[in-house]
Amino acid sequence: MKDSKSNPKNDASLFLGELFPEVPDKSKVLVWELSSKTSRWFSSTDTAATYATGRNDVYVGCALSPDPDKLPAQFSKDGKRKPRSAVRCFADNTFAIGGFWIDIDYKHAVHKKKNLPSTVEAAIKLSKSLLQPTVIMHTGHGIQAWWLFKELWVFDSDEERSKAANHNLLWRKAFEKIAKKNKWEVDATHDLARVFRIPDTINAKCRKQVTVKIIESDWKQRYNWSDFESYFPVGDLQFEKKKATPPTVTKGFLDLEVRPARGPNPQKWYALQSVDSRIKDTFEHKRKDLNDTSPSGYDMALACFAAQAGWSDQEIADLLVAHRIKHNPTDPKIYRLDYLSRTIARAKENIEQEEAQCRIEDAVDFGIVEGIEPGDIEGMKRALVKDLAFQLKVPMTRIVKYMTDPPQYRIETSTHHVNLGTVENLIEQRKFKNAIASITGRLITPIDSKRWPKTAQALLKACFEMDAGMGATDKGSVWLWLNQFCDEMKPLDNDEKKEALASFFPFFWEHRGTKMVCIFPREFSSWLKRSHDERMNSRKLGVLLRGFGGEHKPVKIDGKAHWVWVFEWAHVQTIDGVDDDEKSRVS
């Protein structure tokens, strides 16, 4: 536990030290700068104050945050994972608060609202109308009032965090009720993700810059959070405690309920909108950068935002239902649990894919894989393969690089081995997609062309290198080619010779009680060029195949003789004189 109260040198240090008398080890003080939209994270209020003092438009998180590395991943508009300096703390992730707060603007040219207290004195009077604030600050064009607690309110559970958020909301509602008597408005700044100005910093929002100052304080004036409950409004204003009419429960795939009268959680919805201006524009159907502007497209965008913020399935469903009701109250999809379930599941999958892509890019850029110790190369490769498999929707178990000249590559799955051949078939998205589809019958998930280079680099980085061993000899090379060719082309049975001839696929042939595999020369030669970039004339290829034990002979198919290369199948599978260990290095 770190004590933040040391001899303050200025109002910034004094205020932050009183607001957060201690900063627990697992928490940080968030200081956010408007001009650069960057976050700074401090373990000490004195250090935070030193950084903030004298700066333009800097703010402190009204709640302590967890370590930013423990926050859920956040993403920029171009889909890239935000760095530590660009991350904000969502309300659902806040750690503790030191008191309740309220922001009251008064009439000024910088404010568009007209229904505000006319003077700063009127705003101060309003702030004192219920309980005496511990501290009041003049922010330049309004005031901030704080009622500090006797001790830090640390959230030990989600329920306790929700209780704190609800209490701060109802505290603002109590002031809102008083303000309405004078036809004034009080800003909705009650959410736990809120940031407020710091004394001894500069409000530079208008031409004449103003220093934020403490104008009244009584640091001994402290409260318990329960002291505020008697002032909370009753009736409809206390909507979080209001008993809702039990909904008609219809279960769906994700165990959801359709609750048209519920709407999204107010605190979470307000906090979510404050994170990104696109969220409100999405709900209002005002996005100009959205590819799919159909109602379903807007649903998906909203679900992705909410899923990224860690909302539960039911909370996302409530948001989607409210969105549909706003734009078409008679829309039948409001009550379609299958539609809601699919939309939410796809949104969560999109977020998981984006997180996998970010981990892939981190491994490429920084050589770091989450959960893998530095220096554990094999562990890193296995983790990369796992993320690549999830991202590309290919059940890869291993990527193999055979150290031949040139190197050859193979993707291994639980059911197939995909021999890619030379490196271009691994790193060029179109060729890679075609190779995977031809063997597995599955299309990879397309990756944006701007992001594919890092995916390709990750594919290279994840390769397990196999000693060339036999592959460096003529006999070993032919064995490798034949195994890869038959693995990819899947020889047809003995009674399917006609089909094999029509497609030039290899086929099995029972000859004098021995199982043989027959390969059409032209197709095998084309495959070598396509998969291994091996370009050799029929004479040279014939020498290699004979050296392996192949025979070039005619086989009758439908009464006609067709020339093929014939090999004993057992010989193709196991080369005489080669032990299992050496064979495994190639296979």
* Whole-number Å distance between alpha carbons of 228 and 173: 12
Among all chains, which residue has been given the structure tokens 């004339």? 537
In sign, the C-alpha dihedral spanning 21, 45, 214, 9 is positive
* Residue 63: inside a domain: yes
* Residue 306: inside a domain: yes
Among all chains, which residue has been given the structure tokens 């005489």? 576
Residue 142 phi/psi, 5-degree rounding, is: -175, -175
Report the pLDDT value the prediction gives residue 472, as an integer from 0 to 100. Answer: 56
Judged on CB neighbours under 10 Å (0-12, 13-18, 19+), 145 is buried
Q: Are 419 and 488 in contact (CB under 8 A)?
A: yes
Model confidence pLDDT, tens digit, residues 58-117: 999 999 999 888 887 666 656 667 787 888 888 888 999 999 999 998 887 666 677 888
User: How much is the mean pLDDT over the chain?
Assistant: 84
Query: Do 177 and 323 sit in the same domain of this protein?
Result: no
* Whole-number Å distance between alpha carbons of 201 and 212: 6
Q: Are 420 and 426 in contact (CB under 8 A)?
A: yes
Query: Do 73 and 179 sit in the same domain of this protein?
Result: yes
Continuous segment of H or E residues that includes residue 509: strand 507-511
* Residue 171: inside a domain: yes
Query: Do 52 and 192 sit in the same domain of this protein?
Result: yes
* Residue 259: inside a domain: no
Query: Do 201 and 225 sit in the same domain of this protein?
Result: yes
Angle (CA) 21 22 26, round 5°: 150
**Model pTM above 0.75:** no
Q: Is the pLDDT of residue 8 over 70?
A: no
Query: Do 222 and 146 sit in the same domain of this protein?
Result: yes
Query: Do 66 and 197 sit in the same domain of this protein?
Result: yes
CB atoms inside a 10 Å sphere around CB 338:
12
Query: Do 149 and 230 sit in the same domain of this protein?
Result: yes
Angle (CA) 60 63 67, round 5°: 90
Model confidence pLDDT, tens digit, residues 413-423: 877 777 788 89
Coil vs helix vs strand at 482: helix
* Whole-number Å distance between alpha carbons of 89 and 77: 18
Where are any strands of DSSP class E within 111-203? 135-138, 142-154, 195-197, 202-203
Query: Do 490 and 535 sit in the same domain of this protein?
Result: yes
Report the pLDDT value the prediction gives residue 60, as an integer from 0 to 100. Answer: 96
CB atoms inside a 10 Å sphere around CB 275:
17
- Write down which residue in 300, 327, 358 finishes a domain: 358
pLDDT band at 583 (very low <50, low <70, confident <90, very high): very low
Domain count, the chain: 4
* Residue 384: inside a domain: yes
Domain membership of residue 221 as a residue range = 2-237
Residue 393 phi/psi, 5-degree rounding, is: 65, 40
- Write down which residue in 313, 341, 358 finishes a domain: 358
Decide which of 363 and 238 is more confident.
363
* Residue 497: inside a domain: yes
Model confidence pLDDT, tens digit, residues 27-36: 999 999 988 8
Query: Do 400 and 333 sit in the same domain of this protein?
Result: no
Report the pLDDT value the prediction gives residue 147, as an integer from 0 to 100. Answer: 96
Percent of the chain residues past pLDDT 90, beyond the cut: 35
Decide which of 307 and 586 is more confident.
307
CA atoms in the 13 A half-sphere facing the CB of 283: 21
DSSP 227: G
Q: Are 195 and 30 in contact (CB under 8 A)?
A: yes
CA distance readout (Å), 16 to 49, 229, 423: 7, 25, 57
Query: Do 377 and 322 sit in the same domain of this protein?
Result: no
Query: Do 18 and 148 sit in the same domain of this protein?
Result: yes
Where are any strands of DSSP class E within 440-528? 464-466, 507-511, 514-519
* Residue 257: inside a domain: no
* Residue 142: inside a domain: yes
* Whole-number Å distance between alpha carbons of 516 and 229: 87
Query: Do 456 and 494 sit in the same domain of this protein?
Result: no
Q: Are 451 and 357 in contact (CB under 8 A)?
A: yes
Q: Are 402 and 412 in contact (CB under 8 A)?
A: no
* Whole-number Å distance between alpha carbons of 493 and 159: 65
Per the DSSP assignment, residues forming a β-bridge with 105 are 142
Taking the CA atoms of the chain, what radius of gyration do you get in angstroms? 34
Q: Is the pLDDT of residue 250 over 80?
A: no
pLDDT band at 299 (very low <50, low <70, confident <90, very high): very high
Report the pLDDT value the prediction gives residue 183, as an integer from 0 to 100. Answer: 86
- Write down which residue in 358, 377, 407 finishes a domain: 358
Q: Is the pLDDT of residue 238 over 70?
A: no
